[in-house]
Amino acid sequence: MSALEAEVDRSAREGVERELLAWMSEAKPSADAERFERLALALFRFQFTACAPYARLCASLDRTPDRVEQVSDIPAVPTGAFKEFDLRCFPEDQTTQVFRTSGTSVDRLGALHLDSVVLYEASLLANLRHSFLPGLVGTRPEMRFLSPGPAEAPDSSLTHMFEALRLAEGHPSSDYDLREGRLDLHAFEAAVERARRADRPLIVAGTSFAFVHFLDDPQAAGETRWHLPAGSRVMETGGFKGRSRTVPREVLRSEIAARFGLDERAVVNQYGMTELGSQFYDSTLVDPDGPRRKEAPPWTRVRFVDPESGRDVAPGEVGMIVIHDLANTGSVAAIQTADLGRAIRSEDGGVIGFDVLGREEGAEARGCSIATDVMLEASSREPAP
């Protein structure tokens, strides 16, 4: 790529990012189909030019920028491909942050490479304020995180999200209570007592397995010991399998609510993944009387496809979740997950959100193998320029 072409590429991405930041900074960002389509197509043109492995996949499917006219035709990359390629749209030496997926020591971990966290944090904070902090924005409640802190988990996207939330909206006393794999019950209980004495809401957020350990710990027993003041809320995220047991999500939600003395609507599940720049939350704090479902921020689009054909399933049917996330400007915006889900509709038939139903056995492997074969065929695994 010539210096002039590289400059044009940077300019195209910067233009998209300016519009996205303006969108995310609106008091109440709203859905705008025309704006989404326009920005998504512009971002696709940039990413096709700037990310060689992705360009090879698109070309093999005959879906190049001159042929793609609508967002649904933009090829999605399986999350597994992030284990095989550095899917970034900038030179390697401009990398400022790398988030890695979890896995065993022998796994090749997936990675999201970033050259800036400005848009990433704008997306996560806008959605957190809307979906998880209604009524509490700007009040600086104390927050306790049942997860490792930034020093212990510097490449965790979840920890980065918690830290961004803590700095932007948390009280100075907010802290992490999972250290070296152990839950600090003393510090956590002290925070609960402070909140109760001051009668101020406490925010508790952490991984699902951390909550399972907390619920099962004999030292954390007590019917009212952990009850939280009115306005408190809990966010849990990740899988529902702990070292001690596997817990269905409805059971975990009920047990968390009972332990903290909260209505179940105050317990919110977050759906996210390392490869994405945006996250999705249960709707119960913004629509307590409606059905529980995941809401998508307006700069994302969620589809459900048949894992074999890649075509959209019929409305309401179960399919593999494909997410188009415009916050992924420096990577690939269209991501094929390994999770199954379905759209949730209102009484008048409109889509108001979606539900995540778990993983289909082998779904990611099938989708990823096709994409990986294509990308490797004309590549020696060289990073994208």
* Domain residue ranges in the chain: 3-99+295-377, 141-273
85 in Cβ contact with 381 (< 8 Å): yes
Exposure class string for 305-341: b at 16+ Cβ within 10 A, else e: bebeebeebeeeeebbbbbbbbbbbbbbbbbbbbbbb
Give the pLDDT mean for 297-317. 92
- Residue 223's pLDDT band, with cuts at 50, 70 and 90, is confident
Average pLDDT over residues 353-373: 60
pLDDT in the model for residue 93: 94
Q: Which residues contact 381 (CB under 8 A, 6 or more apart)?
A: 84, 85
Top CATH class of 3-99+295-377 equals mainly beta
Any idea what the Cα angle at residue 277 is, between residues 116 and 369, rounded to 5°?
110
Q: State mean pLDDT over 129-139.
A: 97
4 falls in which pLDDT band (50, 70, 90)? very low
Which residues, other chains included, contact 161 with Cβ-Cβ below 8 Å and sequence gap of 6+?
124, 128, 272, 279
pLDDT of residue 344: 94
Between 325 and 110, the higher pLDDT residue: 325
Same fold flag, 3-99+295-377 and 141-273: no
What confidence tens digit (pLDDT) does each residue in 77-111 have? 999 899 989 999 999 999 999 999 876 555 678 89
Over the stretch 23-78, which tens digit does the pLDDT of each residue have?
999 988 999 999 999 999 999 999 999 999 999 999 999 999 999 999 999 999 99
Tokens 């492997």 sit on residue: 365
In the predicted model, what is the mean pLDDT of the chain? 88
How much is the average pLDDT of 282-309? 95
The backbone region for 213, taken as left when phi is positive above 0, alpha when psi lies in -120 to 50, beta otherwise, is: alpha
Which of the two residues, 17 and 372, has the higher pLDDT score?
17
174-219 confidence digits (pLDDT tens): 999 998 888 999 999 999 999 999 999 999 999 988 898 899 899 9
- Residue 384 pLDDT exceeds 60: no
Instruction: Label the pairing between strands 202-207 and 142-146.
Output: parallel
Decide the pairing of beta strands 334-345 and 319-325: antiparallel
Confidence category of residue 286, pLDDT binned at 50, 70, 90: very high
Picking from 151, 158, 272, the residue whose alpha carbon sits closest to that of residue 206 is 158
What pLDDT does 245 receive?
64
Quote the percentage of the chain above a pLDDT of 70: 88
Q: What are the pLDDT digits (tens) for 107-127? A: 678 899 999 999 999 999 999
303, pLDDT greater than 60: yes
Amino acid identity of 182?
R
The whole-number pLDDT of residue 361 equals: 61
Flag whether pLDDT at 321 surpasses 90.
yes
Is-contact 337 79, C-beta < 8 A? yes
pLDDT band per the 50, 70, 90 thresholds, residue 358: confident
The predicted structure's pLDDT at residue 103: 63
What percent of the chain has a predicted confidence (pLDDT) above 90?
A: 74
What is the mean predicted confidence (pLDDT) over 244-262?
89
- CA distances (Å), 375 to each of 43, 55, 315, 353, 383, in order? 20, 9, 32, 33, 11
pLDDT tens-digit series, residues 338-354: 999 999 998 888 889 99
User: CB within 8 A of 80, min separation 6: which ones?
Assistant: 110, 338, 364, 365, 367, 368, 371, 372
pTM of the model: 0.89
- What number does CATH give the domain 141-273? 3.40.50
- Confidence at residue 350, expressed as pLDDT on a 0 to 100 scale: 86
Query: How many CB atoms are closer than 10 A to CB 359?
Result: 14
Q: Give the pLDDT mean for 155-172.
A: 96
